[in-house]
Copies of this chain bind each other. A is one copy, B any other.
Amino acid sequence: MMTRDEALALDRADALAAFRARFALPDGVVYLDGNSLGALPKATPARLAAVIAQEWGDGLIRSWNRHGWIDLPRRVGDKIGRLIGARPGEVMVADSTSVNLFKLIAAALRLRPDRRVIVSERENFPTDLYVAQGLIELLGGRHELRLVTPNTLDAALDDEVALVLLTHVNYRSGRMHDMAAVTRRAHESGALMLWDLAHSAGALPVDLAGSDADLAVGCGYKYLNGGPGAPAFLYVAQRLQDSFRSPLTGWLGHAAPFDFDPLYRPAPGIASAIVGTPPILSLAALEIGVDLALEADMAAVRRKSLALSRLFIDLVAQDCAGLGLALASPARDEERGSQVSYAHDEGYAVMQALIARGVIGDFRQPDIIRLGLTPLYLRFVDLWNAAEILADIIATRAWDKPELKRRAKVV
């Protein structure tokens, strides 16, 4: 079993080690929640200060042209595209993941007017399911949301299915779909495929074009380190852009927004997915995080992520066997995203005990201790330390205190 010295040796040999110094991390914390809110890049404060003081304060309205604000959603979108295997012009930054899901699910139903079923997983992140439910209700209930498990997905793909809506890496378990294989099966049934990349973009290599994916959305504030509530992105494959229509028809998605024509005419392709005025401060912060991710080789990020998770899983398996902690993530590397989750009957209290000891992850209902692995700012020794602390908490039942069981507003 790996010793702390061996973990330190891995850090010395780590080709990505230098990235850690590019993030402002609090002292005394092992941050395993970058899949909920990514850490602050050190370049962000100065960039935001300049955007605020020079671009907004001095430039004022002129900055839409002078500082290229109007191009920012597409510029940052194209950069994200390079992280997820998209071509230029296929990705746009806009709104939230949820709002982008609404645009794309509605667009998909419009592209498959003779089909009435959306297939998704019961274990998908709820917002994906909620957005589909809200849209179905709005459309009068003619459509059905068919919820499956990974094992029953194939059987659910019949000729009624308009859209398969899946999250690439599951938010609770970290289980990862085979994007190319699932997309192929969706296409064989005549359905479109929409991938939610919330837990993938910036965390591991994604190849949307190579997987022949139709549509995708993703999150700016997790592995892209864009800041709390950073804008999200959406992807529409080139071949669909001529027929793509978003139901959220705002002024900036018009073909000629500054004509102020009373009749909506969509901008070509994904440009029509812009709705209102883009959030410049948030976009500028997101761009810094994306630029940082672009400096890293995503294949190297993936290798390190798997090495981190393997180290942690092995240590916990050794130290916590038989103590009520069950690995809730796939044991096989190729099925696991960039996180490790455990089930524990008192998962909430265990997580509070971890946080009290400086190991920050999060809890997900009903019993999941979720630990996100962000190779750009985590060291092997951080995972070694975290495993030791977790083992100590489990062995000593340090979680068994009333104050650790009191739920906070956000968990």
List chain A positions with a Cβ less than 8 A from chain B: 24-26, 29, 31, 33, 36-37, 39-40, 44-45, 48-49, 52-53, 55-58, 60-65, 69-70, 95-99, 102, 106, 122-127, 129-131, 133-135, 137-139, 147, 172, 221, 227-232, 246-251, 253-254, 257-264, 275-283, 285, 355, 360, 362, 364-365, 408-411
18 more contacts with CB within 8 A, not counting A126-B251, A172-B260, are A24-B53, A55-B228, A62-B360, A64-B228, A70-B410, A95-B276, A96-B276, A125-B260, A126-B260, A129-B264, A130-B249, A130-B251, A130-B253, A131-B248, A134-B264, A229-B277, A232-B276, A282-B282
Query: Of the candidates B25, B232, B250, B408, which one forms a contact with A65 in the assembled complex, judged by CB atoms under 8 Å apart?
Result: B408
A45: nearest chain-B partner, CB-CB: B52
CB proximity of A130 to chain B, nearest CB, Å: 4
Chain B residue with Cβ nearest A69:
B228
Complex Cα spacing A246 to B261, Å: 27
What B residues does A248 contact at CB under 8 A?
98-99, 102, 131, 134
Cβ contacts under 8 Å, A134 to chain B: 246-249, 264
- Asked whether A360 lies within 8 Å of B61 as measured between CB atoms, the reply is yes
A282 to B26, CA, bound (A): 23
A124 to B264, CA, bound (A): 13
Chain B neighbourhood of A138, CB < 8 A? 106, 138-139, 247
CA distance A20 to B86 in the complex (A): 47
Q: Min CB distance, A126 to chain B, in Å?
A: 5
Supposing A60-B26, A259-B365 touch, asked if A227 and B280 sit within 8 A by C-beta, the answer is yes
Cβ–Cβ < 8 Å partners of A69 in chain B: 228
CB distance from A121 to the nearest CB of B (A): 9
Report the Cα distance A16→B280, complex, angstroms.
Answer: 30
A33 CB contacts on chain B under 8 angstroms: 60-61
Of B31, B64, B232, the residue contacting A409 (CB under 8 A) is B64
Residue in contact with A137 in the complex, picked from B56, B125, B247, CB distance below 8 Å: B247
In the bound complex, CA of A365 to CA of B254 (Å):
15
Are B360 and A276 within 8 A (Cβ)? no
Contact between A26 and B57 (Cβ–Cβ < 8 Å)?
yes
Chain B residues whose CB sits within 8 angstroms of the CB of A365 once the complex forms: 258-260
Which of B130, B231, B282, B411 meets A250, CB within 8 Å?
Answer: B130
Which of B45, B53, B60, B95 makes the CB contact (< 8 A) with A53?
B45
Chain B residue at minimal CB-CB distance from A134? B249
**A61 / chain B contacts, CB cutoff of 8 Å:** 33, 36-37, 360, 362
Partner of A258, one of B64, B264, B411: B411
A-B contact pairs, 11 of them (CB 8 A): A26-B58, A56-B227, A70-B410, A95-B95, A99-B275, A106-B138, A126-B261, A126-B264, A134-B264, A147-B262, A172-B260
Contact of A131 among B137, B249, B411 (CB under 8 A): B249
A287 to chain B, nearest CB (A): 13
What are the nearest 5 A-B pairs in CB distance?
A96-B276, A134-B249, A98-B250, A127-B251, A228-B280
